[in-house]
Amino acid sequence: MGNLKEVRTRIASVSSTQQITSAMKMVSAAKFRRAQNAIVSMRPYDKQLSDIIRDINVEDGVDTPYHAVRDEKKVLLVVVTSNKGLCGAFNSNIIKEANARIKHYQQKSGVELSLITIGKRASEFFSKHTTLVKSTFDDVLDKPTFDNVAAIAEDIMNRFCDKEYDKVEIVYNKFKNSLTQILSTEQFLPVMPDTKKDENKVQSDYIFEPSKQEILKEMIPLSLRSQFYRVVLDSLASEHGARMTAMQKATDNATELLKELKLTYNKARQSAITNEIIEIVSGAEALNG
């Protein structure tokens, strides 16, 4: 009977875990829908803004301080993860990619590398394993408003213009759907103009007032802040999608394990009952004999 008690304990434990993972999946699904709507709504605006700036750059070659290409002596790596775990390989993939970028720049002589982390998982890991972390912005993921995120982008942009950094890269998960996240490394600064000419593309006929130069000076910072905000929204949608998928798999696994445990329990119970019947019959025959 001790075996039966052990199996019953395991059944109760797995059943409790199944309820927790099922509830977490429902919570993640609600958060995922909000995050998905946010990034889907953001992308057309970000794309249109980038297209307008690209049209100006291609023909006019107008530069701003954010276009300044310098020797890569001081590089900033922005690593975006989540604050919480239980989302599959979401965070580990980002950390692996960030480590690969760190090794890439450390192999170059004369390169001073710095890290800015967004998300507790990245902050905790790199704080323990490196001394490169300069700033952490974990709280921004709790309330990812445009103003909160744009403030981080603004600080990075100002430091780039002040030549504290010569290049800025962002490592994050780009959202595709609830099952797929695309591990991405994007160059944030300097801004690289689109030099590719598409013969089939129709150039937009804009009227610029007061001038293209003045407009570009205003639009480039706005575009960079929007790009940074889009990165955070991409990461959040990817996180909730990954967690929802992970909790669904965990729930399915718990369901399968419960089936196996219940079958094991029934077999053990049947065997125990059979043994008891045999003992009773054997005792009765001994008395009759």
Place 1 in a pLDDT band, splitting at 50, 70 and 90.
Answer: very low
Closest C-alpha among 60, 45, 42 to residue 217: 60
| Rounded-to-5 percentages of helix, strand, coil across the chain | 65, 10, 25
Q: In the chain, where are the structural domains located?
A: 33-196+206-244
Q: What percent of the chain has pLDDT over 90?
A: 61
Long-range contacts of 87-91 (CB under 8 A, 24+ apart): 87/239, 87/242, 87/243, 87/246, 88/242, 88/243, 88/245, 88/246, 89/242, 90/173, 90/181, 90/238, 90/239, 90/242, 90/243, 91/119, 91/121, 91/122
DSSP letters spanning 229-268: HHHHHHHHHHHHHHHHHHHHHHHHHHHHHHHHHHHHHHHH
Residues 38, 39, 87, 247: which is the catalytic one?
Answer: 87
- Return the CATH class of domain 33-196+206-244: alpha beta
Higher pLDDT pick, 168 / 272:
168
Q: Is residue 161 flagged as an active site residue?
A: no
User: Has residue 114 got a pLDDT over 80?
Assistant: yes
At residue 162, does pLDDT exceed 70?
A: yes
Name the β-bridge partners of 113. Answer: 75
